[in-house]
Amino acid sequence: MKKETLGKIISISGATVRTDLTGLTLFERVSVGEHNLTGEVVRLEKDEAVLQVYEDPSGLGLNEPVQGHGVSLATTLGPGLLSVMFDGLQRPLDALLEKTGSFIHPIHLPSTLDFTKQWSFTPLVNRGDTVAGGVKIGYIDEGPFQHPIIIPADKNGRVKSIAQGTITLDEPLCELDDGSMIFGHESWSMRIPRPYRKKISPQGPVITGQRIIDFLFPLARGGTSIIPGGFGTGKTILEQTIAKHADVDIVIYAGCGERGNEMSELIEEFLHLVDPRTNCPLMDRTVLVVNTSNMPVAAREASIYTAVTLGEYYRDLGFHVLLLADSISRWAEALREISSSLEEMPGEEGYPTYLASRLSSFVERAGVVETLSGDIGSLSMILSVSPPGGDFTEPVTQALLRTAGAFLMLDTTLANSRHFPAINWMQSYSLYQNILADYFKNNVSNDWEVLRNLCREIMHKEESLKEIMEIVGIEGLQEQDRLVMTVAEKIRSDFLAQNAYTADAFCEPQKTMDMIRSITDQFLRGQNQTAGKGENETL
């Protein structure tokens, strides 16, 4: 590790600071000012460096010290992350509460994990075994999980000694013959994707329990869905409902630039709700990364990287992980604010021109992988988008449309008629439906696809009949068209709409199938009848 160096502040504009400190590297972590605010190097010039400060810069003064740390902004990974709530820089909010009270003051809070907590460690390798990056050397019992401890990617050798029984995280668990120590935790630079052996194409669905998603617009494990919607269309409720019920091992929820009251509600619910798969509180499988809209903007930009790095870590341990981010637009706005304070040339709507490439490399971090230890792990993403004025032609939605596999468009008209989830069935799509067709066929029902197509057909027919009906009234329609309208109405209100506050919040694929079948059966029967009647009349 490089020696830490000292310099001083020469300019401050918003959260952007210039220092005369030289010898820094790009994206190196720095401490800024008398209160050691966390910052990152964003640009290097001949004799100066430009820093982004991740906390409220008010009170920061000219000539105050700047210190480089020789490492980049990193996420700490290890046991003890689950059920904790972090801010965008991965500082535990409970620990912050203890330190600064109900209001967050800019202070330096070094440790993310609890290094004094005792864990029980069970080794899986013996002295003399050869190990390489990704190999599981043992596991720690953490709530409902066995948390595997893996050799960091850059280490390998023969095991010289290995611990067993009660340990804390600051003790080494394993020593290799080259003298390197393996701890139960590691640090990973948040902007760099974690390594894996190879990427596999998405397979198997993430069952969200939302009928309209699972049945019409499914999400594959390792895939990405985006949920754009204007305000009041229920993005947050949909994300939170999915976070509660999705059939994954680990949920990472990033509350990025959204409301504080919503987060307090979420926390309370997650503490009390029980995960039916493990019978433990939902919180035990969840990590929350929370940077509400009034918390520092730059930390908001970092928060989704913290979240995705956490997600990749659990993926590397062989888990199926779902990352929910609410909302990516707030991240993009933070990026825009930072970019404009760096006086970069703005692109569309003031966003920096690298918005699309940043977004696509972020979305690319999702996927199903064969981990370094040969397990299969996956990271799926559901990202909400808040387009200004509910206008989907804006840059963030457009950039995400190019990379995401499923588009769940939230519709203000549906939301205003209190139809939730307000996903528009005409405009939304999922590119995963063909990949997943076999899964649903083999695991749920043979005619999954047949019924899905029939359901779609009815909804399309309704759309085209609607205009006619507005003029002639339902009485003016032909009998079979009237049937379409009645059945479509039934599909909308009994099948596609789902109340997030009742037991209906989660619907098993089997039940989804039964429900749609009973409606489409009614349709087919009706069709036969009208056809039959038609024949009688001609007779």
For binding to other proteins (CB under 8 A), which residues are involved?
10-14, 56-63, 85, 93-94, 96-97, 100-105, 230-232, 255, 257, 259-261, 263-265, 267-268, 290, 292-295, 297, 330, 333-334, 336-337, 340, 346, 349-350, 386, 388-391, 416-418, 470-475, 501
What SS3 state is found at 242?
helix
- What is the smallest separation between the CB atom of 1 and other proteins, expressed in angstroms? 31
Q: Name the residue with tokens 């390798």.
A: 125
- What is the smallest separation between the CB atom of 295 and other proteins, expressed in angstroms? 5
Asked whether 80 and 143 are in contact (CB, 8 A), the reply is: no
Query: Smallest Cα–Cα separation from 269: which of 253, 258, 293, 256?
Result: 253
- What is the smallest separation between the CB atom of 391 and other proteins, expressed in angstroms? 7
- What is the smallest separation between the CB atom of 434 and other proteins, expressed in angstroms? 35
Instruction: Indicate left, alpha or beta for 255 from its phi (over 0: left) and psi (-120 to 50: alpha).
Output: beta
Which strand (E) or helix (H) includes residue 94? helix 93-100
- What is the smallest separation between the CB atom of 22 and other proteins, expressed in angstroms? 17
Residue 48 burial (CB count, 10 A) = 17
Q: Where does 181-272 show beta strands of DSSP type E? A: 181-182, 186-189, 198-200, 205-206, 219-220, 224-228, 250-256
Query: Which of 17, 487 has the CB closer to other proteins?
Result: 17
Query: Which of 100, 146 has the CB closer to other proteins?
Result: 100
Sign of the CA dihedral running 425, 430, 435, 439? negative
How far is residue 440's CA from residue 201's CA, in Å, rounded to a whole number?
17
Tell me which DSSP letter residue 27 carries. T
Which strand (E) or helix (H) includes residue 382? strand 376-385
Residue 438 burial (CB count, 10 A) = 13
How far is residue 136's CA from residue 61's CA, in Å, rounded to a whole number?
48
Amino acid at 133: G
How far is residue 234's CA from residue 163's CA, in Å, rounded to a whole number?
49
Query: Which of 64, 508 has the CB closer to other proteins?
Result: 64
- What is the smallest separation between the CB atom of 250 and other proteins, expressed in angstroms? 21
Which strand (E) or helix (H) includes residue 459? helix 448-472
- What is the smallest separation between the CB atom of 470 and other proteins, expressed in angstroms? 6
- What is the smallest separation between the CB atom of 533 and other proteins, expressed in angstroms? 22
Query: Which of 10, 454 has the CB closer to other proteins?
Result: 10
Amino acid at 161: S
Query: Which of 501, 539 has the CB closer to other proteins?
Result: 501
Query: Which of 101, 179 has the CB closer to other proteins?
Result: 101
What SS3 state is found at 163?
coil
List the alpha helices (DSSP H) in 143-223: 211
- What is the smallest separation between the CB atom of 248 and other proteins, expressed in angstroms? 24
- What is the smallest separation between the CB atom of 390 and other proteins, expressed in angstroms? 6
- What is the smallest separation between the CB atom of 388 and other proteins, expressed in angstroms? 6
Query: Which of 61, 110 has the CB closer to other proteins?
Result: 61
How far is residue 423's CA from residue 268's CA, in Å, rounded to a whole number?
27
The CA-based angle 317-323-329, given to 5 degrees, is 145
Query: Which of 84, 516 has the CB closer to other proteins?
Result: 84
Query: Which of 306, 373 has the CB closer to other proteins?
Result: 306
Asked whether 113 and 77 are in contact (CB, 8 A), the reply is: no
Query: Which of 62, 503 has the CB closer to other proteins?
Result: 62
Beta strands at 224-228 and 376-385: parallel, antiparallel or unpaired: parallel
Query: Which of 275, 333 has the CB closer to other proteins?
Result: 333
- What is the smallest separation between the CB atom of 117 and other proteins, expressed in angstroms? 19
List the alpha helices (DSSP H) in 135-259: 211, 235-245
- What is the smallest separation between the CB atom of 423 and other proteins, expressed in angstroms? 18
How far is residue 227's CA from residue 229's CA, in Å, rounded to a whole number?
7
Query: Which of 472, 531 has the CB closer to other proteins?
Result: 472
Residue 492 burial (CB count, 10 A) = 17
Amino acid at 128: G
Sign of the CA dihedral running 335, 206, 187, 284? positive
Query: Which of 30, 104 has the CB closer to other proteins?
Result: 104
Q: Name the residue with tokens 């792990």.
A: 377
Query: Which of 200, 505 has the CB closer to other proteins?
Result: 505
Asked whether 89 and 204 are in contact (CB, 8 A), the reply is: no
> Residue 289 is encoded by which pair of tokens?
């990364």
In degrees rounded to 5, what are phi and psi of residue 190?
A: -65, -25
- What is the smallest separation between the CB atom of 100 and other proteins, expressed in angstroms? 8
